[in-house]
Amino acid sequence: MMLGMTQRSTEYLEVLSIGKNPTRVFCKDRPFVPEDVSCTIHIMNTPGFYPGYYKIQEVEDGAAVVWLPAGEPGATGGRGVLGGTIQFNRR
């Protein structure tokens, strides 16, 4: 049995916002989709946002649900990068 690696490419997110619940991150550029689960959002230093890396736990109505608050509720204009995770597949 061999293990192979695949990695999702990074994607720049220009207009992020935080929902009423600070663990919900939205993106004006595009909605988050189920394939984004387990990927990481790297939020840049933007007023109202907490810079850092946030793993997407689930996707709900186009929002990325992360484990910790990613910013102040209602914050808008954030910037970030959606990065892939390495997945090991049996071949």
Domain CATH for 21: 2.40.30
Domains: count for the chain:
1
- 6: Cβ–Cβ under 8 A, 6 or more apart, which residues? 86, 87, 89
Q: What is the pLDDT of residue 47?
A: 94
| Tens of pLDDT, residues 50-84 | 999 999 999 999 999 999 999 999 999 999 999 87
What's the whole-model pTM score? 0.81
The pairing of strands 11-18 and 76-83 is antiparallel
Q: What is the pLDDT of residue 21?
A: 95
- Indicate whether 89 pLDDT > 50: no
Q: What is the pLDDT of residue 10?
A: 80
| Tens of pLDDT, residues 5-33 | 445 668 899 899 999 999 999 999 899 99
Indicate left, alpha or beta for 67 from its phi (over 0: left) and psi (-120 to 50: alpha): alpha
Q: Give the domain range for residue 28.
A: 3-90
Provide the pLDDT confidence category of residue 2 given band limits of 50, 70 and 90: very low
**Residue 84 token pair:** 């892939």
